[in-house]
Structure 1
Amino acid sequence: ALRLGIEIPDSRLSGFAGAGAPQLVADNACAHLFVLGQVVASGWRQNDLAAQRVALCVDGDEVAVGCGAHALGDPRDALVWFVNHLSSRGKAIEPGEFVTTGVCAGPVTVKPGQSVIARFDGYGEVNLRLTGED
């Protein structure tokens, strides 16, 4: 199934954007929280997910736009790479587990009290409001 979502990153590195691969791995790739949205209705498999437009809005203002190609060229390619990586180690994605294939729009700064909407053209949107420091 395909689900929409918003990744909420966090990093212990002050300059994570230029940190380099070893530092990002040590920082858990800035992973922190994930807001899991609704399941996308059937019919998405034949669509070009690499061209899928995603817009991030903070308090109603569009602050970032991206596309599925930002996830290793295509979200499907990112998923295939991950599944093959697991398989080579005798592991698999288990029922009930979710995989995020990567960020489509760049990171944006959001402060407590602000609302975020991620709009996935043709598929829907995911909304959240930050209520505290974490």
Structure 2
Amino acid sequence: MLNQETRSTIAQQIFDCFTHRRQIPLLTQSHPEIEVEDAYRIQEQVISRFQADGRQVKGYKIGLTSEVMQQMAGTTEPDYSSVLDHMFVESGSCLKCDDFSDPLIEIEIAFVMKQTLKGPGITEADVAAATDYILPSIELVDFRVARAPGMDVRDTIADLAAVGCVSLGSQPKRLDEVELGAIRGDLIINGSVQESGAAAAVLGNPLTAVAWLANKLSEFGIAFEAGDVAFSGSFVRAIPVQAGDSVIARFDSGLGDVSLQFD
């Protein structure tokens, strides 16, 4: 377990990485005594620093939703992070790769809440009742804690679960209009399909992922509020992007496309 001073120092280092793009070494190597609770407390402090600058939490993301990724990260459950308002970018935006440290692209289903959802004890039915609609989304994954052999969930949690930015589609669907687990999506880069998958790859059902997230948030006194966006986890492998790339996330079930360009 880390002391409060060490947590604060690490949080400041990660916060500074968002501005200076200088990655820091694995926390599990520089601070081998770090625990999962330390990592979440560091994450809280990074978020608090953004809030002190006027940023607001607009949603939450879940990561490590596949068993393979959990095994690689040395954990038996997903991780999560808050997503701040300035991390939301419009579909069709052109982003500069130099604004990120190590950008990769994922695609997933986003849930927009119509009412408060607070754990513990949240079920998939509770999530469905609290959801206003779903949207297709792109998540740009980025790493302030540099990827290296030995990286595990403690490194990613402290690093805001590696969120860089997110982009939402513009064709909402109610849950009763789609078969959620059967939704398929393609990740298309420069006109070529790089990854394809189905939403059921996310813990068997994205509703399960959001229920887990609601219950996990409750451990830290947090609840989903109306208007919050829950990113339920990628159902394809993350693909690196570079300057000049054109990215499209193409979903079936009437959800449409989300796109980003990179300079």
Q: Provide the TM-score with structure 1 as the length reference.
A: 0.82
Matched to 2:213, the amino acid is F
| Alignment partner, residue 224 of structure 2 | 93
User: What is the alpha-carbon distance in structure 1 between the residues aligned to residue 161 and residue 219 of structure 2?
Assistant: 21
Matched to 2:206, the amino acid is P
Shift of 1:46: 5.9
| Alignment partner, residue 83 of structure 1 | 214
Matched to 1:35, the amino acid is S
User: What is the alpha-carbon distance in structure 1 between the residues aligned to residue 246 and residue 179 of structure 2?
Assistant: 29
| Alignment partner, residue 260 of structure 2 | 128
23 and 89 in structure 1: CA distance in 2 versus 1, 3 angstrom threshold: closer
Which 4+ runs in 1 deviate beyond 6 A? none
Structure 2: any 5+ residue segments left out of the alignment?
Answer: 1-132
User: What is the alpha-carbon distance in structure 2 between the residues aligned to residue 81 and residue 65 of structure 1?
Assistant: 24
1:115 to 246, 252, 263: 246
User: What is the alpha-carbon distance in structure 1 between the residues aligned to residue 176 and residue 217 of structure 2?
Assistant: 23
Shift of 1:36: 1.6
| Alignment partner, residue 14 of structure 1 | 147
Give the 3-state SS of the residue equivalent to 1:8 in structure 2.
strand
Matched to 2:248, the amino acid is I
C-alpha contact 2:245 2:261 (8 A) present in aligned 1? yes
| Alignment partner, residue 164 of structure 2 | 32
User: What is the alpha-carbon distance in structure 1 between the residues aligned to residue 231 and residue 237 of structure 2?
Assistant: 15
C-alpha contact 2:201 2:235 (8 A) present in aligned 1? yes
User: What is the alpha-carbon distance in structure 1 between the residues aligned to residue 138 and residue 222 of structure 2?
Assistant: 26
Q: Per-residue displacement from partner, 1:24-55 (whole Å, max 9, x unpaired)?
A: 2122221110012124234x436332232111
User: What is the alpha-carbon distance in structure 2 between the residues aligned to residue 117 and residue 71 of structure 1?
Assistant: 20
C-alpha contact 1:54 1:66 (8 A) present in aligned 2? yes
Q: Which structure has greater helix proportion? A: 2
Shift of 1:70: 2.8
Q: Percent same amino acid among aligned pairs?
A: 32
User: What is the alpha-carbon distance in structure 2 between the residues aligned to residue 47 and residue 23 of structure 1?
Assistant: 36
Q: Per-residue displacement from partner, 1:62-95 (whole Å, max 9, x unpaired)?
A: 0111221232221111111112233454432122
Give the 3-state SS of the residue equivalent to 2:217 in structure 1.
helix
User: What is the alpha-carbon distance in structure 2 between the residues aligned to residue 56 and residue 87 of structure 1?
Assistant: 33
Count of residues paired in the alignment = 129
User: What is the alpha-carbon distance in structure 2 between the residues aligned to residue 39 and residue 79 of structure 1?
Assistant: 20
Q: CA RMSD in A?
A: 2.1
C-alpha contact 2:183 2:199 (8 A) present in aligned 1? yes
Q: Provide the TM-score with structure 2 as the length reference.
A: 0.45
Give the 3-state SS of the residue equivalent to 1:102 in structure 2.
coil
The structure with more radius of gyration: 2
